[in-house]
Amino acid sequence: MSIGSLTIAATPSHDTIGIWAPVLLVLARLAQGLSVGGEFGSSASYLAEVAPPGRRGFYSSFQYVSIVLGQLAALLVMILLQRLLTEDQLQTWGWRVPFVVGAAAGLVVMYLRRTMEESQHFRQERAKAESTAGERKGLRALFGEYPRQLIAVFGLAIGGTVAFYTYTTYLQKYLVNTAGIEKSTVSVIGFAALFVYMLLQPVAGHLSDRFGRRPVMFVFSAGGMLLTVPIMTVLGRTGNPWLAFLLMTTALTFLTGYSALAAIIKAEMFPTKVRALGVGLPHALVTATFGGLTEPIALGLKNSGHETVFFWYVTGCVALTFLATLLIPEPSRTSLLEATEAAPSRRSEAARLT
C-alpha cells in the first residue's frame, strides 16, 4: 500500500513521460487494491478470532470504523490543502501531498502489525499443523474444500465494494461534476456524512449479533436495489448542500448493513487454516477490479452521455450481493469460529473426567 501511494505521489506528469504516466498510475492503483484486499483478510480474521462469542459482529465492525477513519483523515488533509493552497497549486503539486502522507502512514501501520500478538485460534491451528503432516493447506485447501464459500464471498463482496466506492469516493466527484456544488462544500458534506457513517458501524455490528448476519445484510442489499437509482438521480439534480448531505447519509446508512458485517460474515465461513486467504483473496480481486473500476466506469458513462446507466450498474452489483445473501445459511449459526473454540473445551472436559 505504501509503495502504491508513493508511486502515485512521485509519478511525473504526462507532459514529462507521456503514456507512462497513466500506466504507472493504473499499476499503482492496482497494487493498492490488491494489497488492501490482502490486508483485509488478515485483519478480518484477527478481529473475528479475538472477539468473544456473541460479540463478534460488534468487534468486527470496527474494521470499517478504521477504514472510514482513514477516509476522514484524507478528507481533512484535502480540506486543509483547499484552505492553504490556491487552485493552481492544488492542480500542480498539492494533490500529491495526501499520497505522501498515506505512504508514511502505511509504514507506521506495518510496524504496529508486526508487534501484535497472535489469536488463540491461530496458535491452536499452528500447533495442529506441526503435528499433522500431509493436510491440504493454502490455495489447494481453499479451492478443493471450500469452493461454495469462496463463490459466496465473491458474491457478497461485489455489490458491497461497488456501493462502498460509489458512495464514499465517487459521490464527491459526482456532486461536483454533475450537481455543480463547489469542491470545498462537497468536501465538508463528505466529511460530515462519513463521520455519521463511521459511528453507525458498531450499531449494525451489534444488531447482527442479536438478530443474525443475513437480516442486516438484507437491509443493505434490498435498500441498495430500491434506492440507488432514485438517490443518485436526485443528487445529480440538486444544488442544495443540506439535501445532498441528507441523501448521502441515507445511502451510507443502508451501506452500513454491508460494511459493518463485511469482515465477520466472510470470516465465519472458513476454518482458521484458510480463513485469511478465503476472505482476503476474493476481496483483493474484487477491490482491484470492481472497486478500482467504479470511478472509470462512472466517468466513462458520463462522458458518453449515458450517466444513468451507472446507477443501474451499481444496482445490478448490489443484486448479486442480495442473491448471495439469499443462498448462504445464517453464518452466525454455522460459524466455524465457534466450532474451533468449542473443541478445546470438549477436550478439556474429557481430560477432567478421565
What are the tens digits of pLDDT across the range 235-251? 999 889 999 999 999 99
The confidence score (pLDDT) of residue 125 equals 58
In this predicted structure, what is the pLDDT of residue 347?
43
Q: How far is 335 from 329, CA to CA, in rounded Å?
A: 10
- Rounded mean pLDDT, 13-41: 83
Classify residue 212 as exposed, middle or buried by CB count within 10 Å of its CB (0-12, 13-18, 19+): middle
**Which triple of cell numbers denotes residue 91?**
492542480
Domain 2-111+148-336 indexed as CATH 2.60.120.860:
no
- Using one digit for the tens of pLDDT, what is the confidence trace for 272-304? 778 878 887 888 888 878 887 899 999 999 999
Provide the 10 A C-beta neighbour count for residue 225: 18
What pLDDT score does 45 carry? 76
- What 3-state class would DSSP assign to 19? coil
Is there a contact between 337 and 251 (Cβ–Cβ < 8 Å)? no
pLDDT digits (tens, 9 = 90+) for 102-150: 899 888 888 887 887 775 656 665 665 555 555 556 777 788 888 888 8
- Say if residues 37 and 286 touch (Cβ distance below 8 Å): yes
All three cell numbers of 233: 438521480
Residues 6+ apart with CB under 8 A from 255: 160, 163, 164, 167, 197, 220, 224
- Give the whole-number percent of the chain exceeding pLDDT 90: 34
Query: Mean pLDDT throughout 213-220?
Result: 93
Higher pLDDT, 1 or 244: 244
Q: Does the pLDDT value for residue 353 go beyond 50?
A: no
